[in-house]
Amino acid sequence: MRGIPHSRTRTLTAALALAVSGAVALSGCGKPQQKVGSAPPPKKPDAFEQRADQIVRDWPKISPVHGRQQALLPLVKAQPPKDGGKAREITVTVGHSPCDAHFGARSHESKGLVVVTGWGKRKSSKGMCTEMLATDKVTIRLKDALGDRKVVDAATGKQLLKG
């Protein structure tokens, strides 16, 4: 900046700095404040998802699960669907505790298998509960038609149906 007096250089620099900071300060005016954060951590697969992945990977060499887990209740049987391979629903019989407040069944689908399991949720840990087995039919809705896929019980590793 030759030829410009020293005091004028300071004024020009100060004006330029104010203009830039003013632009920055004004750029957010009138906009609601936004919170920025990282993505939530990936959901850890539960016991059934881990078991289903293992069955799909190792089929047909599957061993039963040891012990009884509320997320992996063995199925008593599965009914062949009326529509055969076109069916998008299968009905299974879940063996659960009479002390379960809620119970049901779920599935994991792959190209060649439909892995199914029963699940139960206890009413309360207080009080006594009999060791009797209650059974109920539950319908599982499939994402895709059963086709020629095999239906496998996640708890026992046994084939229940062949589509």
Domain residue limits, the chain: 47-162
| Interatomic CA distance for residues 26 and 154, integer angstroms | 60
| Interatomic CA distance for residues 140 and 149, integer angstroms | 15
* pTM (2 d.p.): 0.69
Can you give the pLDDT at residue 2?
52
The residue that leads in pLDDT, 69 or 156, is 156
pLDDT above 60 (res 24) = no
Q: Which alpha helices (H) appear in the chain, and where do they start and end?
A: 6-26, 47-58
What six digits make up the tokens of 39? 């993505």
Residue 33, H or E segment: none
Q: Which residues neighbour 56 within 8 Å (Cβ) at sequence distance 6 or greater?
A: 108, 110, 112, 113, 115
Can you give the pLDDT at residue 124?
66
pLDDT bin (cut points 50, 70, 90) of residue 32 is low
